[in-house]
Structure 1
Amino acid sequence: MATPLGPDRLVTALRAEGVTVVEHPGWRSHNRNAKGAFGPVVGVMIHHTVSSGTASSVALCFNGYEGLPGPLCHGVIAKDGTVHLVGNGRANHAGAGDPSVLQAVTTETYGDRPPAPRVHQGSPGAVDGNSRFYGFECVNLGNGTDPWPAEQLLAIERVSAALCRAHGWGAKSVIGHLEWSDWKSDPKGFAMPTMRTRVQSRLGKDPAQPTPPKPTPPKKPELQPFPGASFFRKGASSPVITAMGRRLVAEGCSAYHSGPGPRWTEADRLSYAKWQRKLGFRGADADGIPGAASWNALQVPRTSR
């Protein structure tokens, strides 16, 4: 069990987890604390609104309706993943539920799912969930066919992880309303065990240290095509010869006393002969005059001729 987060700490925790937060006017002091305490808290409860449209859903959850005053949750998770905060403190979202579920969530001692709830609001032995759970309503018709966009599911994951991280909880502290009361079916359209797996995976990462992008492999230099054996003749001068000589030096095949430079010299020929022998050429095939195979293997960077 934990002391609920105040409004500043709640906003900080959500934003640190990457949640896009909108603060509805008046949310920081909007609660049902006059009807009972909020806290100590044990977990996060996920709902669907049975409504469509962000603005109308936020207004409904802030104001409530006849017979059930607002706030109806702490935050509304829109289809685009934005989280609209509408309450801070006790909210009319969970109602009464099964004490065995409360115990399982508090101790995080259950398998894939908490024990099946057998009670509801008004049942003998039911316990108050409004004092024990943060509640988040997700904009969805709840008919099983209204889609759950990836952005919305990611926001549910992030909100849940933010509160679990802030309180030192694991993902088993996150449940759906249908796992609390045998009267409820929300959230309908995705599986809470799958969401808990996502939350637990996120909890294994530090939100303050985002995953670094994979380094971009260095761009391979464009290579100089083989200019032909006749290019390497006495008196020839070109930056290509300088580039070739530098590659020969890099490969440990230097016979240079100075340079290399742009003019073809005997030092270039002797150096290139070393390269040919390094590649396994012998005899006339290692005469120091470049051929296509040895040239391509040398990988001389392209330069203007």
Structure 2
Amino acid sequence: MATPPKASVFAQLLRNEGVTVVEVGDWEHHNRNHKGPWGPVHGVMIHHTVTKGTAATVKICRDGRSDLPGPLCHGVIAKDGRVHLVGYGRANHAGLGDDDVLRAVINETKLPADNEATTDGNRHFYGFECENLGDGKDPWPKAQLEAIERVSAAICRHHGWDERSVIGHLEWQPGKIDPKGFGMDWLRGQVRDRLKPTTDYTVRRGDTLWSIAASKLGDGNRWHDIASLNHLKNADDITPGQKLKLPKK
């Protein structure tokens, strides 16, 4: 059983994974909690929007439609890889789905076919809408795919889940096809690799997390990733001889 973190913690754990976060209005308090509970959370659900243009996509995902009030997700993953946070709490993204699928996500086992819609997914899943027409032709830029991977891994890392806690809408609710254009097994493989520490590093005299990130990961700003992976509360609290795990480059 997993309890969602505070909104500020949620935003920071995404940033710690290298995600560029855009906070939209009062996203921290924008939710559908008056319609039902949110949590315990068990997984991350990925969608495509069937929209074009980031501004229009963010607006509809925040505000919703006349027949489906917003927020329609927690974050919108744009073509350029930026993640626009539009809500936090219960969101109208998952709808009713298969309880056998939910059970498999909780147990982190192979997903069964989704053949019924009886279980409230809005309560149990983080939802991310990805800007894409969903026609199988609209491209998925590298920056966007990497952001989807990072967002999924960040949440899994926080809750101690593995990649099997990440599913697509098409694996949850019968009749859905999203996300279309890449495979969920492929995405789960990317998340699995990202969650695996790739190497160890021994701290040397004069090292900082920034210098280690710059030399070993190619980007000093990824010192946040190292701090998060090693549960360092104080980024300056490293000593020569200390062993650190480094994330995927």
What one-letter code is carried by the residue in structure 2 that aligns with 1:116?
Answer: A
Amino acid at match of 1:128: D
- Confirm whether residue 58 of structure 1 aligns to residue 58 of structure 2: yes
Quote the residue 1:183 is aligned against: 175
CA distance in 2: counterparts of 1:171 and 1:201, whole angstroms: 9
RMSD between aligned alpha carbons?
1.6
Report the equivalent of 1:81. Answer: 81
Which digits, 9 at most, give the CA deviation of each residue in 1:184-227, with x for residues without a partner?
Answer: 00000000000000001001138x87484499xxxxxxxxxxxx
User: In 2, distance between residues paired with 1:51 and 1:84?
Assistant: 15
Q: Structure 1's 73 and 213: CA in aligned 2 closer, same or farther, altered over 3 A?
A: same
Q: Deviations over 1:11-66 (max 9, x none)?
A: 11000000000000110100000000000000000000000100000000000001
Post-superposition offset of 1:6 = 1.4
Equivalent residue in structure 1 for 2:112, among 111, 115, 138: 115
Separation in 1, partners of 2:131, 2:217: 35
Structure 1 gaps of 5+ residues are: 121-125, 216-305
C-alpha separation in 1, matches of 2:78 and 2:217: 31
For residues 89-104 of structure 1, what are the structure 2 equivalents within 5 Å? Answer: 89-104=89-104
Q: TM-score, normalised by structure 2?
A: 0.80
Cα deviations by residue, 1:96-138 (Å, 9 ceiling, x for unpaired): 000000000000011xxx1110013xxxxx1000000000000
Deviations 1:66-106 (A, max 9, x none): 11000000000000000000001000000000000000000
User: Structure 2 matches for 1:1-305, cutoff 5 A?
Assistant: 1-110=1-110, 114-120=111-117, 126-205=118-197, 210=213, 212-213=215-216
Residue deviations 1:222-242 (CA, integer Å, cap 9, x gap)? xxxxxxxxxxxxxxxxxxxxx
**Number of equivalenced pairs:** 206
Q: Which has the higher strand share?
A: 2
Q: Distance in 1 between matches of 2:189 and 2:77?
A: 19
Q: Counterpart of 2:42 in structure 1: which amino acid? A: V
Q: 1:34–1:214: structure 2 CA closer, same or farther, 3 Å change rule?
A: closer
Amino acid at match of 1:93: H
Contact 1:46/1:175 (<8 A) preserved: yes
Matched residue type, 1:171: E
Identity of aligned residues (%): 60
Separation in structure 1 between the aligned mates of residue 150 and residue 107 of structure 2, nearest angstrom? 22
Letter in 1 for 2:189: T
Where in structure 2 are there 5+ consecutive unaligned residues?
199-208, 219-249
Q: In structure 2, the residue corresponding to 1:131 is in which secondary structure?
A: helix
Q: Distance in 2 between matches of 1:178 and 1:211?
A: 39
Q: Which has the higher contact order (CA 8 A, sep 6+)?
A: 2
Normalization by structure 1: what TM-score? 0.66
Partner residue, 2:222: none
Q: State the structure with more CA Rg.
A: 1
Partners of 2:180 and 2:90 in 1: CA distance: 24
Alpha-carbon distance in 1 for matches of 2:11, 2:141: 23
Q: Which runs of 4+ in 1 moved over 2 A?
A: 208-215
